[in-house]
Structure 1
Amino acid sequence: MKARRTDGATAGATAVRAAALGGAGLLLAGCASMPTRGEVRPVSATQGADSQVRVYGVPPAPNASPSEIVGGFLEAMTSDDPQLSTARQYLTAEAAKSWKPGSKVTVLSSGLGRSPEKPDKLDKQPEAPRFKLTGDKVATVDERNAYQPEPGGVPFEQHLQLVREGNEWRISELPDGLVLSESDFQRIFLPVNKYYFASGTLVADPVYVRQRTDPDSRMDKTTQTVQSLLDGPSKWLAPVVNSSFPTGTALRDGTKSLSYDAQNTLRVPLNNKADNVTEPQCRKMATQLMYTVRDLTSSRVARVELVHSDNKSVLCGVDESLAATIANRVPAARHQYYIDQHKLLRVSLPSDPEQSFEQAVPVGGPLAGAPQLKVGTAAIAYEEKRAGVVSEDGHSLYTVSLTTGGPLPAPVQTSRVKDGLSAPSWDGRGDLWVADRDPQHQALWRIPGGTGTPQRVDVAGLDGRRIEALRISSDGVRIAVLLSTGGARKELYVGRVERPEAADGGKVSVRELRPAAPQMADVTAMSWAPRGRLLVVGRESEGVMQARYMQADGSMVAGSLPGANGLTDVAASEDEKQPVVAYSDADGIVWLPPGAQWRTVSAGGSAPVYPG
């Protein structure tokens, strides 16, 4: 392994990495010199995001120049030192005490550029040299650990002020929080979901915590995640969810680490704000915790128990089965659906992904006896007893039963133009959503219960863009939309669905659209995926077509699906054990079982969907 270094690295800007290899430790280090004046020097990003790599800063060398102090500090800021103790050695005593690296994180597309504001005076040892830091900001992580992307990048500029402290140069003024490249951010921070309730259903709220001990709180990643849950939802999601934890609930003082016992039970000690909760409320609290921590360990979390502030008695506990009941998630899909020769077909999902596929069969109900209706797109309600289907010409949307025969009902929504209606989408509350792309009457519509009077949904922030496609999340509080400005290029956004109480007389609306795939120049297709993520098919600027998972906050999940070229439709089940299904121009309907390769289900067909 090569030593960590920067362009023109200094003795103080050297990092030491330790990597676990077959149980043995490997430790390497390297040093070089840096010019003390001249042009802007970028601080290079860590090569890759290997979570097994640990980076340690090197303390400032005696009589280090101002430029060496700046370079060493920026490098040490990316280290895994507890409390970032090495980085603090580059600061004055006062700055070291006041600096709060955990207050926020600024994420840059690459390393920081740095340059002295008056390079001609550096050789003359000015009283207070000042350095300008520059870069392209792609995101920030706020005090609640929420990731907020900056589409297209935003110029970043901050300053570091140096002064003499004793006989050494030290930094006296610096930006709040941390400033990291994307690769360093991915190495240091871990994406996790914390969970809150919306109308009795759990909703994922994605955040980032440090992979190792947090330098401010000294908490491990599990404890950081639990504390973030107790602190409350992210600002973006807060208007539409609630927490079962009483206001002020926190971990018992001194809790820095949470661990599992031999039976995979996690015991969480709380302060006295939670001492008097009722049993039903306590179980909802424990359910939020169960879903929040279950992805943080390779072993299965069997049980979560909440502990009284006396640290002796247990307030309550839930196991997987009880938590699943309280979480009120949508039922698991039993079939996958697609359209072939304008007919809606279904395929039974095998219990084992390696099993052969069953033959696709036409769905029942009015569609079985309605040869006059050519189906163009469809959405299946989560209970799999109803479907929303749009006619092949895109004029009409019908809600039909899949279990009871009879004549084709009247359409529940129509458009005035050909191909006006988008593919529909169901939420877990039983409402059907569709967009009308008529240039003169563009609108997002919600059909309550699938058959009620259509209600126009106000979407804030469209700014003249048109909704080309949509997918409402199963929890009904987030909607993914593909937006265009009239051309072929489409961008993916996620909006928050706000539903006023009936007594308020307000209408359902979509607020605070935020980019969900800012790295992609054009998005072709998308679907909601397990754990509140999105599966997105798109192309980066001048890149190849790819399919990859994204967090709903717009951050990228490592890795992409194999062989994504030619995909124009994609669908994922709420159950990650089920295969991804897609339409390929070359192969028709294809499945991607977990850990396997694409398999052709039907050479014909189009528009594959799971319930939702």
Structure 2
Amino acid sequence: MTRRPVALAAFLVCLALAATGCLGIPVEGPVVETETEVDPNEQLGYYNDPRPPAPGELPEDIVKGFLDALTAIPVQTNTAEQFLTREEAASWRPQRRTITYADASVPEGSNRITVELGGANQVDSGGTWRGPLPADERQLTFTMQREEGEWRIADAPDALVVPESWFSQAFRRVSLYYLDPSAQIMVPEPVFLPRGDQLATALVTRLIQGPSRRLRRVERSFVPEGLDVELGVTVSDEGVADIRLTGGAPMPAERDASLMVAQLAWTLSQDTTITGMRITIDGEPLILSEGSPEFEMDRGRFYDPTGVQATSLLFALREGRLLVGEADELLPATGPMGTETQGVSSIGVDLPGTTVAGVTEAGDRILLTDVRDAEAGVAEVVSDGTRLLAPAWDFADRMWVTDRPDGGAVLSVRSGGRLRPVTIRGISGRDVSQLLVSRDGSRVVAVVDQRNNDRIVVSRVEYDERGRVLGGTPAREIAWADQTRISVLDIGWSSPTSLTVLHRLGGDLSQVRTLLVDGAPAGSTAIALTLQGVARDLASSPRATDPVLVRTRAGLLDVLDSSATEISGTEGLRSVTYVG
């Protein structure tokens, strides 16, 4: 059996910028246009070996050569270091962050060379997207110094500075999988890592570093601290990954070891060449109670962040009564909201699809009942509200309530029959028109109206180990690269780390598009769809197999269906939703 080694420099766990697809505006109906899908394990189709500095080059040529050298394929910085003074090369740390740019000015100057970056973004050392580069950092300055008669750079920025087009081909957005604080469900954390044979090593290297300190109440890792990957992850011809960890950490107990294996399985499953894995810690095989040293990649499937218990059925209201089923076959529910009109105008449904919460027409009360049990009672669980939004649910059967009095949004969570207030800076007290909670409970996304301009913001939810909500991190805006003023009609999940957004373009045009929760540009799997005609709201799910539906005057439209026609029998619906 032959094995292929996989090596990775430390700075390769940096972010890549993924380009968005184009939009088409049809005369009628939708057009979907996205990029060609790229195999995540595919090697780049070219080799780039930048030249070293030539004798007698001017300062501006040295700077240009340095920037060119950073685009080497395979990735390496040895050539780039030759453009630096010996002292600067010894202290230069490109792994500290990555800067991507859409365009750059021609280097100008003599002893001090400047380069202006356009469309610049930054990524931290772990590969996490950090958004636009601050305005005062978009001009790079290089101090030049003669060394042995040749010009060299004496103070290069401690960053890998590369064009976004290069990253869009060389890197891939993936997720590191941690557990929620109660260790019941996986929480994906998006990062950007290089494509190709080094992907497995990059995934494991980054995963074992653990979540950032600021997220310690959002997610946790069961990989023992202090471990490193020995040399690199190797993958056999049969697809079995050999993960050799070192660092002197004790072998974890059975429960923790099982959760560690689940994390590695979820994370490494994104490398489609891997079919199984073996794990050793300081040479000792990790073996669980079942006795096999080899683990299958579906290990931990019950920790699915989309909710292993979640149904894919669709729910809606027609003439005030609850319907349930597939989009083309919605039937009256057999529970109290389906057999009688309860006076509700919007609904939220728990993940198993067994309990429904309805907001009354006046927006002041929430009624709770069983979806199917005709004998179930109808309980009023929220009273005296103001313009209540449809409730949201997470995997732990927590129901999230958004009340909207004159002073701004008031959030609360109902768990175990009790309603507790939750404060999230940037959402609480704001003019909130939409609110989502991820099924894993780790993210709250809201549409906030600020001066007649909608903003989509995201907060990370913090918990104690018992699963009690403690609050949330300050909400951060998800930037739109090509939009200045935004009018959002509706939002939904398209994956555990991405959103489907329906927004108005103007006139009778609207658009369905994908936004990533980390604010990075959407890539090859993004929706880019323009609709002509009145679009009212949408229903989407974090499961890729669930249709993305837009409600129009004529009924529901499956935006990914090439026929581009409304689904028969879906006219007259309201509050169309998946669970969660």
Structure 1 residues 167 and 152, CA, compared in 2 at 3 Å: closer, same or farther? Answer: closer
> Could you give the per-residue CA deviations for residues 515-562 of structure 1, whole angstroms, max 9, x where no partner exists?
2344344243222233432223347999x7433333321112214425
User: Which residue does 1:512 correspond to in 2?
Assistant: 474
User: Which residue does 2:23 correspond to in 1?
Assistant: none
| Structure 2 gaps, min length 5 | 1-35, 39-43
Structure 1 residues 180 and 513, CA, compared in 2 at 3 Å: closer, same or farther? Answer: farther
Find the residue that maps to 1:183 and give its secondary structure.
helix
Q: Is the 8 A contact 1:286 1:305 kept in 2?
A: no
Matches of 1:76 and 1:377, distance apart in 2: 57
- Taking the TM superposition and a 5 Å limit, the aligned residue runs for 1:112-123 are 112-113=104-105, 116=108, 119=109, 122=110
User: Which residue does 1:97 correspond to in 2?
Assistant: 90
**Structure 2 counterpart of 1:111, one-letter code:** D
User: Which residue does 1:246 correspond to in 2?
Assistant: 224
Q: 1:296 aligns with which of 266, 271, 274?
A: 271
Q: Is 1:490 paired with 2:454?
A: yes
> Could you give the per-residue CA deviations for residues 361-408 of structure 1, whole angstroms, max 9, x where no partner exists?
01221112332x333221111111101111233222212111222476
Find the residue that maps to 1:288 and give its secondary structure.
helix
Q: Is the 8 A contact 1:55 1:78 kept in 2?
A: yes
Structure 1 residues 94 and 568, CA, compared in 2 at 3 Å: closer, same or farther? Answer: farther
User: Which residue does 2:12 correspond to in 1?
Assistant: none
Q: Is 1:364 paired with 2:357?
A: no
Q: Is 1:209 paired with 2:193?
A: yes
User: Which residue does 2:396 correspond to in 1?
Assistant: 429
User: Which residue does 2:68 correspond to in 1?
Assistant: 75
Shift of 1:194: 0.4
> Could you give the per-residue CA deviations for residues 450-474 of structure 1, whole angstroms, max 9, x where no partner exists?
xx23222111134863221111111
Structure 1 residues 421 and 211, CA, compared in 2 at 3 Å: closer, same or farther? Answer: same
Structure 1 residues 456 and 311, CA, compared in 2 at 3 Å: closer, same or farther? Answer: closer
User: Which residue does 2:552 correspond to in 1?
Assistant: 584
- Taking the TM superposition and a 5 Å limit, the aligned residue runs for 1:314-353 are 316-325=293-302, 329-348=307-326
Question: After the TM superposition, which of the residue ranges 193-202 and 406-415 deviates more from structure 2?
Answer: 406-415
User: Which residue does 2:407 correspond to in 1?
Assistant: 440
Matches of 2:245 and 2:349, distance apart in 1: 42
Structure 1 residues 567 and 58, CA, compared in 2 at 3 Å: closer, same or farther? Answer: farther
**Structure 1 counterpart of 2:574, one-letter code:** S
Shift of 1:71: 1.6
Task: Using CA pairs under 8 Å that are at least 6 residues apart, name the structure with larger relative contact order, 1 or 2.
Answer: 2
Q: Is the 8 A contact 1:345 1:360 kept in 2?
A: yes
Find the residue that maps to 1:576 and give its secondary structure.
coil
Q: Is 1:453 paired with 2:446?
A: no
Q: Is the 8 A contact 2:492 2:501 kept in 1?
A: yes
User: Which residue does 2:14 correspond to in 1?
Assistant: none
User: Which residue does 2:492 correspond to in 1?
Assistant: 527
Q: Is the 8 A contact 1:49 1:183 kept in 2?
A: no
Matches of 1:65 and 1:539, distance apart in 2: 52
**Structure 2 counterpart of 1:207, one-letter code:** V
TM-score by length of structure 1 reads: 0.77
Matches of 2:133 and 2:401, distance apart in 1: 26
Find the residue that maps to 1:224 and give its secondary structure.
helix
User: Which residue does 1:310 correspond to in 2?
Assistant: 283
Shift of 1:493: 1.1
Find the residue that maps to 1:387 and give its secondary structure.
strand
Matches of 2:143 and 2:133, distance apart in 1: 30
User: Which residue does 1:26 correspond to in 2?
Assistant: none
Matches of 1:571 and 1:412, distance apart in 2: 25
User: Which residue does 1:281 correspond to in 2?
Assistant: 256
What is the total number of aligned residue pairs between the two structures?
525
Q: Is 1:606 paired with 2:574?
A: yes
Shift of 1:270: 1.2
**Structure 2 counterpart of 1:446, one-letter code:** V
Structure 1 residues 405 and 278, CA, compared in 2 at 3 Å: closer, same or farther? Answer: same
Matches of 2:536 and 2:147, distance apart in 1: 62
Find the residue that maps to 1:240 and give its secondary structure.
coil
Find the residue that maps to 2:258 and give its secondary structure.
helix
| Alignment RMSD | 3.2
Find the residue that maps to 2:353 and give its secondary structure.
coil
Q: Is the 8 A contact 1:136 1:154 kept in 2?
A: no
User: Which residue does 1:465 correspond to in 2?
Assistant: 430
Structure 1 residues 402 and 514, CA, compared in 2 at 3 Å: closer, same or farther? Answer: same
Q: 1:554 aligns with which of 519, 534, 540?
A: 519
Shift of 1:578: 2.4
User: Which residue does 1:144 correspond to in 2?
Assistant: 126
User: Which residue does 1:384 correspond to in 2?
Assistant: 353
Structure 1 residues 341 and 196, CA, compared in 2 at 3 Å: closer, same or farther? Answer: same
Matches of 1:102 and 1:533, distance apart in 2: 27
**Structure 2 counterpart of 1:396, one-letter code:** R
Q: 2:441 aligns with which of 463, 472, 476?
A: 476
**Structure 2 counterpart of 1:325, one-letter code:** F
**Structure 2 counterpart of 1:192, one-letter code:** V
TM-score by length of structure 2 reads: 0.81
